[in-house]
Amino acid sequence: MNEKTNYLETKKQSCRAINWVNFFLADVRDGLGPFLAIFLLTTYKWDQAKIGIILTVMGLASLLVQIPAGALIDYTKHKKLILSVCIVIISIITIVVVWVPVYSLVLSLKVMMGMASAFLPPAVAGITLGLTGPRYFTRMVGRNEAYNHAGNVFASLLTGVIGYCISMRSSFYTVAVMAILSLISLLFVKSSDIDHRLARGFTEKKSNDHKIPWYRVLIECPPLLIFTICIVLFHFANAAMLPMVGEKLTETNPQLGPIFISSCIVIAQLAMIPMAIIVGRKGDIWGRKKFFLLAFAILPIRGILFALTSNAICLILIQIMDGIANGIFGALFLIILADLTKSTGRFNVSQGVVTTIMGLGASMSNAVAGAIVVKTSYFHSFMFLSFIAMLAFIIFLFFMPETKDYVFRSKTAKE
């Protein structure tokens, strides 16, 4: 622990700066997507079909760019520049969309926003890994995630207060303010502190390098394939739960819908902060698998509880479980990915591949769960999602190894 602290102290300014970049990016990543939907619906009277198409197209554009974005971050030494450009693009588009609500223009700009947002996670992860190397990555990821969740709470409360006290349009300027603050924070990350070789997933010893094509990483790393299957099932089970709870409650108490959703988001984010810190501090000591099994175990229980109650207070309290599970998931996702791709030089592009597959699973969740609700009931839909979550738990328990000391071995590496 002292060795870690001493090492990180030598790069204290850069490490603190990347923490604050994560805090301020919480408001920038999606350009206040959920609030934009409400704004277009209430202010400009757009129908739900148009709004749904815009949000869907943005999500698809982001998914399509995930892999090339990761490959570029692996390759380039200009990670800070790419991150800065994408932050500026997202903030400008957010303001333009609010003031010029022309459907064709908004549709085109949201595609650009989706593409720009795809570069943010791998750029931040790459810079972090370049600062710390694999030995100290766990601790820094825990800090980054804690700052990000705190930023989400701050941004949600600030946006809500501004929207309520001034106007909904004014709340979108928080994106521009947070973007400026994230850029200022990024300036304090010293380029000389970033080891771009470590940032792409190599180790300190060049003799350990396995230079293989990115598309073979999944094939030659069975645990990575198992991990991908598990997290796809996790997100398939998880993605539709909160929206369905909101719909379920709104049907009986329409006036409570917005308040309920906001409360659920804030309480979950607050629960994620301590979990991210614990994972960062204890992940190297206790190992990854025990933590992740806890996250997988919580999800089916949460789904069953959602199925059994319609009480608003109980539903909000159940969201604490979501905060615990996703707090663990958010931190360990990058840590396990770094473990499995260590020495391959394909950390960021592998992140893009896995995130793309994960996003497709999450996008299918709402459609399948919604169809089950229409055909049967919310109860059956929640129970189905709980079954998928339990399946993910079982696969992870019996087939996923501990990755802390995993050593990647390639049959096709270029020596």
> Quick one: tokens of 12?
């204290």
Q: CA distances (Å), 194 to each of 70, 74, 191, 210, 225, in order?
A: 17, 13, 5, 21, 29
pLDDT at residue 316, rounded to an integer? 80
Distance CA 274, CA 278 (A): 6
DSSP assignment of 64-125 equals HHHHHHHHHHHH-S-HHHHHHHHHHHHHHHHHHHHH---HHHHHHHHHHHHHHHTTHHHHHH
Structure-model confidence comparison of residues 353 and 51, the more confident one: 353
pLDDT at residue 333, rounded to an integer? 93
Distance CA 100, CA 92 (A): 12
Query: Above 70 in pLDDT, residue 8?
Result: no
Q: For 324-337, what is the mean pLDDT?
A: 92
Residue of 274, 213, 271 lying closest to 414 (CA atoms): 213
Asked whether 18 and 141 are in contact (CB, 8 A), the reply is no
CATH code for the structural domain at 1-199: 1.20.1250.20
pLDDT at residue 165, rounded to an integer? 81
Query: Above 80 in pLDDT, residue 101?
Result: yes
Q: What is the mean pLDDT of the chain?
A: 86
For CATH 1.20.1250.20, the residue range(s) in the chain are 1-199, 209-409
> Quick one: tokens of 268?
């979950």
Query: Above 70 in pLDDT, residue 168?
Result: yes
Q: CA distances (Å), 324 to each of 236, 306, 385, in order?
A: 18, 16, 18
pLDDT at residue 15, rounded to an integer? 94
- Rounded CA Rg of the chain: 21
Q: For 125-152, what is the mean pLDDT?
A: 93
Distance CA 404, CA 203 (A): 14
Kindly report the CATH class assigned to 209-409. Answer: mainly alpha
pLDDT at residue 160, rounded to an integer? 72
pLDDT at residue 273, rounded to an integer? 93
* Other Cβ atoms within 10 Å of 13 Cβ, number: 12
pLDDT at residue 146, rounded to an integer? 94
Distance CA 318, CA 271 (A): 11
Query: Above 80 in pLDDT, residue 5?
Result: no
Coil, strand or helix at 211: strand
10: which residues sit within 8 A by CB, 6+ positions away? none
Q: For 357-377, what is the mean pLDDT?
A: 85
pLDDT at residue 411, rounded to an integer? 62
Block residue for tokens 């750029």: 123
Percent of all residues in the chain with a pLDDT value above 70, rounded to a whole number: 89
Q: For 123-130, what is the mean pLDDT?
A: 96
Longest dimension (CA), the chain: 64
pLDDT at residue 86, rounded to an integer? 95
pTM attached to this predicted model: 0.86
415: confidence class by pLDDT, cuts 50, 70, 90: very low
Q: For 223-232, what is the mean pLDDT?
A: 93
Coil, strand or helix at 148: helix
Q: For 260-281, what is the mean pLDDT?
A: 85
Distance CA 217, CA 344 (A): 8
pLDDT at residue 39, rounded to an integer? 76
Q: For 19-41, what is the mean pLDDT?
A: 79
Crossing angle between the packed helical segments 222-239 and 289-308, to the nearest 10 degrees = 20
Name beta bridge partners: 211.
414
pLDDT tens-place string over residues 179-219 = 999 999 999 999 999 999 999 988 877 656 666 777 777 78
Percent of all residues in the chain with a pLDDT value above 90, rounded to a whole number: 48
